[in-house]
Amino acid sequence: MGKVDRFEDLEVWKLSREICNDLEGLFKSTALGKRYALLNQMDRSSGSIMDNIAEGFGRGGNLEFRNFLGFARGSCTKLRSQLYRAVDKELITQDQFQHLDQKCDKEIAKLGSFIKYLSNTDYKGTKFKKD
């Protein structure tokens, strides 16, 4: 992985943003938008994916970043469960479910690969750089 100066340049963060935007479209166009409790949970879970990636990146340390990437992966898994609830309640279609479920699968895999990469590198993080 090359040097990345901004969390916005990370593929895992870009995909998490796509997931949030896709969900927002469902909130506006489906019966899910009228189910405030589930909508709120899904909005918070998806936002947590993005936010944990950004926060971990901002900590400047490899170990902390891996921890926050793990939190993001957990939030993505929680969102997948919430998507099952939405499709089971017929608030979204099977196609809408599959579209987002596939993106969640991809995000979980990318986060896992990124965590593995960071676990195997000697780089400790920007806060440990010696000037």
Q: Is 61 helix (H, G, I), strand (E, B) or coil?
A: coil
> pLDDT tens for residues 29-61?
999 999 999 999 999 999 999 999 999 999 888
Alpha carbon distance 98, 105 (integer Å): 10
> pLDDT tens for residues 16-35?
999 999 999 999 999 999 99
Q: Is the pLDDT of residue 129 over 80?
A: no
Task: Check residue 128 and give its pLDDT.
Answer: 59
Q: Is the pLDDT of residue 14 over 60?
A: yes
Give exposure, 83-101, as e/b (b: 16+ Cβ within 10 Å). beebbeeebbeeebbeebb
Least confident residue range of 3-12, 34-43, 89-98, 112-121: 3-12
Going along the chain from its start, the domains and CATH numbers come out as 33-119 (1.20.1440.60)
> pLDDT tens for residues 76-91?
999 999 999 999 999 9
Alpha carbon distance 12, 65 (integer Å): 13
Q: Are 52 and 75 in contact (CB under 8 A)?
A: yes
Task: Check residue 130 and give its pLDDT.
Answer: 61
Which residue would you say has higher pLDDT here, 11 or 122?
A: 11
